């Protein structure tokens, strides 16, 4: 079990312990007010954990508190892991970022772009540009997600999810085959659209490596990094460490148990989602963030070159655009101004425009159940906040994490 290391003295790493305690007090009010069942917060700088706190309940009805070894459903915090897997194969020369994905996934060989019409009878046109590997890494492939309600193509994803025979048991290969038949929202490389792109990237990892995604993760990433409690489901005694999921009713402001969402991660999934399938502990994800902060190496094990990791933290959107410029109608829960997208995670490009306390070059992302993390290379700082709350954005936890942690900095990066 990879536990969260014992916290070091914050002052010796350029942070104010009283201010970190204030962050815990602020987040604790969400529990006291009944808006969160419980949470876990980890802050690290200079390679050392300087703050670790658990608060509230993992399962209110069972009386189980949040513990240091609680196993959280990470959802989209899986995406950076899948992106690391892809970049490992890139470094080995398996593909170039500008290679067409159809070279390995032929179903994507003739993409068509939506032009007009309703979801059940769309007008489309051939795409002049193929979907390339870099488009998957940056969410510029033109794909979509079933939970968007912005474009007619979004409804086509919902129809596949809800109506396709055998969809519930379809594996990753079958899902990619089906997604490839749905029109693209935009021509590849022209707009940013949060989507199943990283799931398709996970399938690319499988085909190129010759391994199932769970096998690749376990053998090539988790075992080398000591992430012993992370995988696509929890079994044995680990199952007992999965918390319940709660939904926050916006009308009443009360929490209700969400057992449907809570069932995820409790058994082997029908398909391996590189976009949102992992469960894991704070201790494991701490090791992953330290691997990124150390430029692709941890405890003498190097999985990526430092230059590759640096590239992942650069904005790769066309023309250096932000979300505002490249997606006119982004989801309300996504940050827009001053934020671009690197290879597998969002990147702060302009802290003033973004309204974030984070430094330029900070990479971050979230999970659907309001798990959050950021990695700031300039300050050698990482922070993670874990909870299990539906829906995403019910509380401003992504903003809170940066706003509460950065004021604790008192000195230069360790």
pLDDT tens readout for residues 297-332: 999 999 999 999 999 999 999 999 988 788 756 555
Quickly state the pLDDT bin for 1 (edges 50, 70, 90).
Answer: low
Q: Which of 67-71, 149-153, 182-186 has the lowest mean pLDDT?
A: 149-153
Q: Which of 169-173, 185-189, 391-395, 404-408 has the lowest mean pLDDT?
A: 391-395
The highest-level CATH class for domain 85-209 is alpha beta
Residue 324 pLDDT: 76
pLDDT tens readout for residues 49-99: 999 999 999 999 999 999 999 999 999 999 999 999 999 999 999 999 999
* pLDDT exceeds 80 at position 336: no
More confident residue, 336 or 105: 105
* pLDDT exceeds 90 at position 243: yes
Please state, rounded to an integer, the average pLDDT across all residues of the chain: 95
Q: Which of 35-39, 274-278, 395-399 has the lowest mean pLDDT?
A: 395-399
Q: Please answer whether residues 292 and 81 qualify as being in contact, where contact means their C-beta atoms are separated by less than 8 angstroms.
A: no
Provide the CATH number for the domain formed by 10-74+233-268+278-408 in this structure.
3.40.710.10
Residue 332 pLDDT: 54
Share of the chain above pLDDT 70, in %: 97
Alpha-carbon Rg for the chain in angstroms: 21
Beta-carbon contacts of residue 312 (< 8 Å; ≥ 6 apart): 83, 87, 292, 342, 343, 344, 345, 363
Determine the average pLDDT of the residues in 206-222. Answer: 98
Determine the average pLDDT of the residues in 289-302. Answer: 98
Residue 161 pLDDT: 86
* pLDDT exceeds 80 at position 188: yes
Q: Which of 100-104, 159-163, 254-258, 303-307 has the lowest mean pLDDT?
A: 159-163
Residue 57 pLDDT: 98
Residue 335 pLDDT: 57
Quickly state the pLDDT bin for 252 (edges 50, 70, 90).
Answer: confident
Share of the chain above pLDDT 90, in %: 89
CATH 3.40.710.10-classified regions of the chain: 10-74+233-268+278-408, 85-209
């Amino acid at each position: 079990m990879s536990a969260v290391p014992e916290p070091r003295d914050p002052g010796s790493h350029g942070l104010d312990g009283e201010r970190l305690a204030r962050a815990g007090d602020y987040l604790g009010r969400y529990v006291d007010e009944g808006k969160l069942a419980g949470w876990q917060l980890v802050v690290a700088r200079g390679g050392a954990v300087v703050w670790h706190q658990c608060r509230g309940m993992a399962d209110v009805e069972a009386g189980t508190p949040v513990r240091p070894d609680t196993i959280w459903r990470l959802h989209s915090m899986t995406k950076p892991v899948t992106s690391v897997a892809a970049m490992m194969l890139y470094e080995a020369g398996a593909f170039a970022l500008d290679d067409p994905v159809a070279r390995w996934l032929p179903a994507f060989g003739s993409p068509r772009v939506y032009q007009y019409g309703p979801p059940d009878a769309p007008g489309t046109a051939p795409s002049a540009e193929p979907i390339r590997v870099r488009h998957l890494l940056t969410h510029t492939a033109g794909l979509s997600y079933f939970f968007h309600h912005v474009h007619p193509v979004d409804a086509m994803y919902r129809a596949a999810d809800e109506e396709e025979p055998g969809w519930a048991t379809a594996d990753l290969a079958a899902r990619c085959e089906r997604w490839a038949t749905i029109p693209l929202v935009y021509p590849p490389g022209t707009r940013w659209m949060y989507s199943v792109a990283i799931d398709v990237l996970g399938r690319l990892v499988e085909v190129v490596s010759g391994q199932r995604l769970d096998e690749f993760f376990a053998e090539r990433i988790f075992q080398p990094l000591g992430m012993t409690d992370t995988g696509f489901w929890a079994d044995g005694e680990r199952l007992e460490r999965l918390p319940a999921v709660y939904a926050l009713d916006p009308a009443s402001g009360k929490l209700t148990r969400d057992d449907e969402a809570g069932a995820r991660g409790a058994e082997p999934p029908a398909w391996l989602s590189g976009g949102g399938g992992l469960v894991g502990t704070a201790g494991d994800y701490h090791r992953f963030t330290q691997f990124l902060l150390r430029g692709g190496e941890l405890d003498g094990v190097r999985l990526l070159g430092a230059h590759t990791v640096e590239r992942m933290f650069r904005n790769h959107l066309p023309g250096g655009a932000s979300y505002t410029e490249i997606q006119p109608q982004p989801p309300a829960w996504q940050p827009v101004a001053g934020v671009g997208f690197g290879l597998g995670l969002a990147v702060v490009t302009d802290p003033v425009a973004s309204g974030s306390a984070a430094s330029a070059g900070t990479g971050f992302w979230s999970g659907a159940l309001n798990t959050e993390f950021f990695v700031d290379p300039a300050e050698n700082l990482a922070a993670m906040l874990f909870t299990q709350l539906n829906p995403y954005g019910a509380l401003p936890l992504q903003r809170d994490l940066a706003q509460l942690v950065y004021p604790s900095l008192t000195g230069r990066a360790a």
